[in-house]
Chains A and B, each alone.
Chain A
Amino acid sequence: MKRKSRGAFLFLTPSVLLLLIFFIVPIILTICFAFTNMALTGSAARNLQFIGFQNFTNMFQDPDFRISVWRTLVFLIFSAVIGQVVLGFILALLMKEKNVTFRRIIGIIVIAGWVTPEIVVAFCMVAFFSDNGSLNQIIGWFGISPVSWLFSFPMVSVIIANIWHGTAFSMMVYQSALDEIPKDIEEAATIDGASNFKILSYITIPMVKGSIVTNMMLVTLQTLGVFTLIYTMTGGGPGTATQTLPVFMYNQAFVNYQFGYGTAISLVLLVIGIVASLFYMKSMKVKV
Chain B
Amino acid sequence: MKMNKFKVSMTAAMASLLLLTTACSSSNSNSGSGAAEGKQEVTITFRSSGSEDTLTKYFESGLIEKFETDNPDIKIKIAPVLASEGDYTSKIVLQMKSPDTAPDIVAEDTSIIKSDAAAGYLEPLDTQVAGWSDWKDKFIENLKAGVTGEDGKIYGVPATSDTRGIWYNKELLAQAGLPVPFKPANWDEVLEAARTIKDKLPGVTPLNMIVGKSSGEGVTMQTLEMLLYGTNDTLYNDETKKWVVSSPGLLDSFKFINQLFNVDKTGPSMQVALNGQAGSIAFQQLFPQGKLAMAVDGSWAGSTWFENGAAPIENVADKMGFAPFPTQNGQEPGAITMSGGWAWSIPAQSQNKEAAWKFLEFLMNQENATGRVVAEGNLSPRNDSVDVAGYTDRTYTAEAQALLEVAKFRPANDQYATVSAQLQSIVESIASGKLSPEDAVKQLKDNVTRSLGEDKVEVK
Contact = CB atoms under 8 A, between A and B. Distances in A.
A241 interface: yes
Given A61-B450, A239-B432, A256-B418, A42 B90 contact: no
B212 A42 contact: no
Given A42-B415, A151-B274, A240 B429 contact: yes
Contact of B274 (A237, A251, A254, A257): A237
Given A46-B119, A46-B120, A151-B270, A239 B451 contact: no
A131 interface: yes
Interface in A109-132: 130-131
Interface in A228-274: 234-235, 237-241, 251, 254-258
Given A42-B417, A237-B213, A256-B418, A151 B450 contact: no
Given A240-B429, A241-B434, A42 B118 contact: yes
A41 B119 contact: yes
Interface in A158-188: none
A77 to B, nearest CB: 22
Given A42-B415, A46-B119, A257-B418, A148 B270 contact: yes
B115 interface: yes
B414 A43 contact: yes
Interface string B101-123: 00000000000100110111100
Contact of B115 (A42, A150, A241): A42
A82 interface: no
A279 to B, nearest CB: 32
A192 interface: no
Q: Chain A interface: which size bin?
A: 20 to 34
A151 B432 contact: yes
Contacts of A44: 119
Nearest to B90: A254
Contact of B450 (A39, A58, A131, A238): A58
A40 interface: yes
B89 interface: yes
A148 B269 contact: yes
A194 interface: no
A188 B274 CA distance: 60
Contact of A131 (B269, B415, B425): B269
B213 A256 contact: no
A258 B451 contact: yes
A237 B428 contact: yes
Given A151-B270, A254-B90, A255-B86, A238 B434 contact: yes
A275 interface: no
B78 interface: no
Contacts, number: 102
Contacts of A61: 450
Contacts of B271: 130-131, 148, 150-151
B212 A46 contact: no
Contacts of B119: 39-46
Given A46-B119, A238-B428, A241-B434, A254 B451 contact: no
Contact of B425 (A40, A41, A43, A240): A240
Contacts of A41: 89, 93, 112, 115-116, 118-119, 121, 414, 417
A63 B112 CA distance: 27
B258 interface: no
A255 B271 CA distance: 22
Contacts of B216: 255
A62 interface: yes
Nearest to B430: A239
Nearest to A257: B417
A256 B112 contact: no
Contacts of A240: 425, 429, 434
Interface of A: 39-46, 58, 61-64, 130-131, 148, 150-151, 234-235, 237-241, 251, 254-258
17 contacts: A40-B119, A41-B116, A41-B414, A42-B417, A43-B118, A234-B274, A235-B212, A237-B274, A238-B428, A238-B432, A239-B434, A240-B429, A241-B434, A254-B86, A255-B216, A257-B89, A257-B418
Given A41-B112, A45-B119, A131-B271, 11 more contacts: A40-B94, A41-B118, A41-B414, A42-B417, A64-B447, A148-B269, A235-B214, A238-B428, A239-B425, A255-B216, A258-B418
Nearest first, the 6 A-B pairs at minimum CB distance are A45-B119, A239-B434, A238-B432, A239-B429, A151-B270, A41-B115
